[in-house]
Amino acid sequence: MFVTTLQVDAMQLQYPRSVVVDRELGRILVADQCNNRIIMAEEDLTDPRQLAVNLNEGLAWPYGLHLDQDRRRLYVTEWNQGRILRLDLP
């Protein structure tokens, strides 16, 4: 068994809640709940980076993720605001 750990930055992941795989681009997306961000990385967990989310109020405890591969949309549920957000991916 081979295990790889996702190391994002000095802030580290805090309560990663949900993971989805983008098969088309070979990437994973992680809801980093307590850091209020979505992290994107390659499937082998290299090249982690924060997904740009254009919201005036930002994310509030992203909790769940669902990826609609056909429409290139990421749906994000938030714990704190009670919202479901739709993000259009490239």
Rounded to 10 degrees, what is the CA torsion of 4, 61, 36, 89?
80
pTM of the model: 0.85
Which phi and psi angles does 58 have, rounded to 5°?
A: 70, -175
Q: Give me the pLDDT at residue 8, please.
A: 67
* Tens digit of each residue's pLDDT (9 = 90 or more) over 12-47: 889 999 999 999 999 999 999 999 999 999 998 889
Q: DSSP letter for 52, please.
A: P
Q: Give me the pLDDT at residue 36, please.
A: 92
| Averaged confidence pLDDT in the chain | 88
CA atoms within 13 A on the CB side of 18: 19
